[in-house]
Amino acid sequence: MATIKDVAAKAGVALGTASRVLSGSSQTSADSRARVLAAAAELGYVAHGPARSLRRARTDVLGLLVSDIRNPFFSELAHAAEQEARRHGFTVLLANANEDAEQADAYLRTFAGQRVDGLLFSPQENISPQLTSTLASGMPLVFLNRTVEGVDAPLYGTDNAQGVQQVLSWLESRGHRGVAFIGGPPTISTGAERRAAYVAGRAAHGISTDDRLLDAGDFLAGGAAQAMGRVIDRGVPFTAVFGANGQTTLGAVRALRERLGAEQAARIEVVSFDDLDWFEFASPPISAVRNDASAIGRLGVRGLIDLLAGRPAVGQRIATTFTDRALRANG
């Protein structure tokens, strides 16, 4: 088992510096912090090492690390997971990665030191040294709505292919050919899956295959607004916009209004993968794929409890529904 002395030696810093970094102190340089954290991840260091030797002593505590607690999807998921865990006698420690891989790794280290029995995790990107360390520790883990290529862990998440197919059918029924697609990061599984399903299916639904209409943000409103702006700047006409999640759709709508003005923006139909409460009040109203975030949270907890009990856990893709608000607007 790696010690803090091992981490300090590998990072080439003093023991006190390593201690301050690993305790979360801000009284260290950015360079020292990066070196210590990299060394800790590579060595599989876990704070409060003696607790790790007690791993088999159950604490009845589960860790839940979500991607962005501001996203209503993850808020709903977290609430359902917490309630389901309570039904089974578990307490949940909730952490927010804020769509930041480094922040996610920091919480993985924290959970390792807090003796949680298992982890419910919505990852930010491809596998990191810290996730490798977490897996190597033997901690039971399930993925929620996002997965990591090459990691054998149950996934409880949205059926992205089904949801995109619902959007494509809706776009075709509305007569759209020029469609701007604003996606998420290709390093996040949901971003990659939704873009792949859209690109593979667009031609069959009569939608333009001009890749200048494709762009990607960071699954946050700010990055999506920048991506929408890049599509507008390319000058390829479009009559509809497809946002790959709720925050992306918000950013796209904001950019349309800022760049085109409210009157012209209102002529462009918007459809979203994720449904937010305000969509029905937009002009025109925004149609959307609805994910069952509550079901994902509940099933994820049940799957993790199965793993803790030594039973196999089989991941599930949860069906989506589609809310067509264009019918209401025209009705």
pLDDT at 1: 63
- For the chain, give the percent of residues with pLDDT over 70: 93
pLDDT one-digit tens code per residue, 288-319: 999 999 999 999 999 999 999 999 999 999 99
> Does 222 score more than 80 pLDDT?
yes
Domain at 160-291+323-330: CATH code: 3.40.50.2300
> Does 50 score more than 80 pLDDT?
no
Q: What is the mean pLDDT of the chain?
A: 90
What residue ranges of the chain are covered by domains with CATH 1.10.260.40? 1-45
> Does 52 score more than 60 pLDDT?
no
> Average pLDDT for residues 48-64, to the nearest whole number?
65
pLDDT at 40: 82
Q: Measured between alpha carbons, how far is 321 from 214 in angstroms, rounded to an integer?
A: 24
> Average pLDDT for residues 264-283, to the nearest whole number?
94
Please report which confidence band the pLDDT of residue 14 belongs to, taking 50, 70 and 90 as the band edges. confident
pLDDT at 57: 66
Q: Measured between alpha carbons, how far is 276 from 73 in angstroms, rounded to an integer?
A: 9
What residue ranges of the chain are covered by domains with CATH 3.40.50.2300? 160-291+323-330
Q: Measured between alpha carbons, how far is 323 from 287 in angstroms, rounded to an integer?
A: 6
Q: Measured between alpha carbons, how far is 207 from 168 in angstroms, rounded to an integer?
A: 8
Count CB neighbours of 283 within 10 A.
Answer: 9
Which residue did the predictor score with more confidence, 30 or 108?
Answer: 108
Please report which confidence band the pLDDT of residue 37 belongs to, taking 50, 70 and 90 as the band edges. confident
Q: Which CATH superfamily is domain 1-45 in?
A: lambda repressor-like DNA-binding domains (1.10.260.40)
pLDDT at 58: 81
pLDDT at 55: 42
pLDDT one-digit tens code per residue, 142-166: 999 999 988 889 999 999 999 999 9
pLDDT at 213: 98
Please report which confidence band the pLDDT of residue 20 belongs to, taking 50, 70 and 90 as the band edges. confident
pLDDT at 53: 38
> Does 256 score more than 90 pLDDT?
yes
DSSP per-residue codes, 66-88: ES-TTSHHHHHHHHHHHHHHHHT
| 54 HSE (CA, 13 A, CB side) | 11
Q: Measured between alpha carbons, how far is 277 from 77 in angstroms, rounded to an integer?
A: 16
> Average pLDDT for residues 246-260, to the nearest whole number?
97
